[in-house]
Every structure is written in C-alpha cells, then in structure tokens.
C-alpha cells in the first residue's frame, strides 16, 4: 500500500531527486556520489481511527493531521536528511498545499530547481491510520498525473547523478524515459515498487540496478505466492529472470531479503525492532533511500542493509511520512546502541 510505499526512500521522478557527484564528494565523507530522485510530492490527510469502517458503517476519527508526503518526495527528503546531496525532479500544483510541500522538501535539504509548477491541485493522499499503526491509503494524482515534461537541465541532472531513485506514483512513460537516460549514462537505477499496481514495463525492468517491493507488491508483480521466505525468494528470482539485476524485498517487522544477482546467495537482514510502532507511513521510502545512500557512500551490502534497517526503525516510531525521516545522527546513535 501507499503506506509501505512511503516506507521506502531515495530518489524518485516527479520529484526526481538527484545527488550531484561533485557536491556529494564535498558534503559527505569519502569518495561519494550524489543521488537523483524522481517522484511526486503530495499532501497526506491523516485520519486516526481505532479500525477501518465496515461497508455502510460511519466511524468518527480521532482528529485529522495534514502531513507532507508522496513516495518520491519521501525518498528525496529521506536521502537529503541523511546528509546526502539530493536533487528532486517532479511536479507540484498551484493550490494552497503546494507551498507547504515545497517548504517541507527544502527544510529536509532537497534541491528543488527541477520541481515544476503545473496548474491545478497538488497530489493528495487520504490515509486511514488505525490505532495499531497499520494504514490504508487513497491517492489523488493531481499534478503528479498531469502532462509531464522533463527539461534539458533535469535530463542532464539524471545523467550525472550517482544514482537515480524511482517509484510508481508518476506516469510510467516518465519512469521509462528517466531509467533509459540513467542507464545510457551508466547511472544505477533503484526503483521502489510502491505506487501504481500492475506489471512493470519490460523497458524499465531492463534498466533497473535494484527493484525494491514489499511482499504484497512482489505478489502483484509476479502473480506468485509470497507467504513464506521460500516463496518470496522464488518470486524475487522471477523478477531477476525478467531483467532486474538485484531485488530487495522489504518484509516490515521481519526485516528484508536481498538477492544480489542471478545465482548469488540471498542476504537476510533482521529488522532493528522499534520500541513502539506509531505510524508505518513512509517507512518503506525511508528504507530504500537510506539503503541507496549507504551504497553510494561505499558501504558493503550487509552494512547498507543494517543502516537502512536503523533508518526504517526510527521512521515507524514517528508520526507522518516526510517529517518522520531520520537524520544521520539519529541513525548513527541507533546503530551504536544496537551493536
């Protein structure tokens, strides 16, 4: 669902976040490259309820929160808050929500020179948040589904990024264009599978360095069962057979399963347990973004998965999507306490 989609973070189109290589080397320790995120910004209207209403039933919410989010924006904010230079390529509306979305991305540190304004509403999500932390989401596309146009400057940003992060809340043809641009420039392409349902275009699959679904998304992408680890691995292998280089399956409280490449042994990462799960919205986006940042900074796969797990654990203990993204200091502190 959108909540888990929100759980992953990195670079996405409609806000395409890119981290410029020279800037990244200036801002981060070591020989790092920047990242580019393409995705969409949207406003989340969060309705806290004890449970989801039954058909024909009316329930009172315990209030209403207005929180900036959107998978692409979450990923860009997640990478930027970890201190990684991140450019966001995307579209935003001309409604009252647009200024809040723009300010939230800027506050996280994302660079917005490629964020284009289009007439009409910004993307909006209505999130029904149950008291156990689970959520159900309804999306209004708005500017994210308006006619898309990548500027020459945005295309250049993609071509010089250290990595490009995509998700499925923007039109598929935009993802195809961005993925092909990145691959032609030898820029790694990471895709969070959250957002639109249905099969992925083979043109995108052939460009992906990494695809990161949760169990539900993996099931929908492959039409294979994903009830246990053996089935999950078999379904992920099927994606690799379709052209994807590596698959990172997010398993929520059960951690993650990473398949590095065809024939290579999977890597199982246990979750860093959260003391109390407050809100899972954005946790998947956060995880994906943190993993990408860690890889760009030269961590090995196991260390990167642990880093991403720590970021995701902090994220679910905070309310909202974009506001719940952790800082580098937050993640370092949790990792130190977990050793």
- In sequence order, what are the beta bridge partners of 66? 45
76-to-70, 266, 326 alpha-carbon distances in Å: 10, 28, 12
User: Distance (Å, rounded) from C-alpha 119 to C-alpha 121?
Assistant: 7
Provide the 3-class DSSP secondary structure of residue 203.
Answer: helix
Token couple for 28: 């981060």
- In sequence order, what are the beta bridge partners of 250? 214, 256
* Residues in Cβ contact with 230 at an 8 Å cutoff, skipping those fewer than 6 apart: none
DSSP string, 129-182: EETTS-EEEEEE-GGGGS-----HHHHHHHHHEEEEEEEESS-HHHHHHHHHHH
**Which pairs with CB-CB distance under 8 Å and at least 24 residues apart come from 60-66?**
65/319, 65/320, 66/100
Asked about 285 being catalytic, the answer comes back as: yes
Burial 122-147 (b: 16+ CB within 10 A, else e): bbbbbbbbeeebebebebebbbbbbe
Question: Cβ of 286: how many Cβ atoms within 10 Å?
Answer: 35
Token couple for 318: 């905070």
Question: Cβ of 274: how many Cβ atoms within 10 Å?
Answer: 19
User: Distance (Å, rounded) from C-alpha 166 to C-alpha 43?
Assistant: 19
Q: Which of 44, 192, 279, 285 is catalytic?
A: 285
State the catalytic residues.
285
């Amino acid at each position: 669902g959108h909540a888990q989609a929100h759980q992953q973070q990195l670079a996405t189109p409609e806000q395409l976040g890119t981290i410029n290589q020279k800037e990244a080397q200036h801002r981060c320790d070591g020989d790092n490259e920047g990242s580019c995120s393409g995705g969409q910004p949207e406003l989340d209207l969060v309705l806290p309820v004890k449970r989801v209403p039954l058909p024909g039933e009316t329930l009172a919410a315990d209030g209403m929160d207005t929180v900036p989010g959107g998978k692409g924006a979450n990923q860009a904010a997640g990478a930027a808050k970890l201190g990684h230079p991140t450019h966001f390529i995307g579209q935003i509306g001309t409604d009252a929500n647009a200024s809040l979305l723009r300010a939230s991305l800027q506050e996280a540190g994302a660079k917005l020179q490629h964020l284009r304004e289009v007439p009409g509403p910004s993307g909006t999500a209505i999130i029904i948040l149950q008291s156990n932390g689970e959520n159900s989401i309804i999306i209004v596309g708005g500017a994210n589904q308006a006619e898309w146009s990548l500027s020459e400057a945005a295309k250049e940003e993609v071509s010089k990024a250290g990595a490009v992060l995509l998700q499925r809340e923007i039109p598929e043809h935009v993802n195809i264009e961005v993925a092909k641009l990145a691959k032609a420039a030898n820029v790694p392409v990471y895709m969070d599978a959250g957002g639109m349902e249905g099969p992925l275009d083979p043109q995108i699959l052939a460009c992906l360095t990494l695809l990161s679904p949760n169990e539900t998304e993996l099931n929908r992408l492959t039409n294979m069962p994903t009830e246990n680890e053996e089935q999950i691995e078999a379904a992920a292998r099927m994606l690799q057979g379709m052209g994807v280089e590596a698959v990172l399956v997010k398993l929520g409280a059960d951690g993650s399963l990473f398949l590095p490449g065809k024939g290579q042994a999977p890597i199982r990462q246990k979750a860093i347990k959260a003391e109390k799960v407050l809100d899972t919205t954005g946790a998947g986006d956060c995880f994906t973004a943190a993993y990408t940042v860690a890889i760009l900074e030269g961590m090995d796969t196991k260390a990167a998965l642990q880093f991403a797990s720590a970021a995701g654990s902090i994220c679910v203990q905070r309310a909202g999507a974009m506001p719940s993204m952790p800082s580098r200091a937050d993640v370092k502190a949790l990792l130190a306490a977990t050793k």
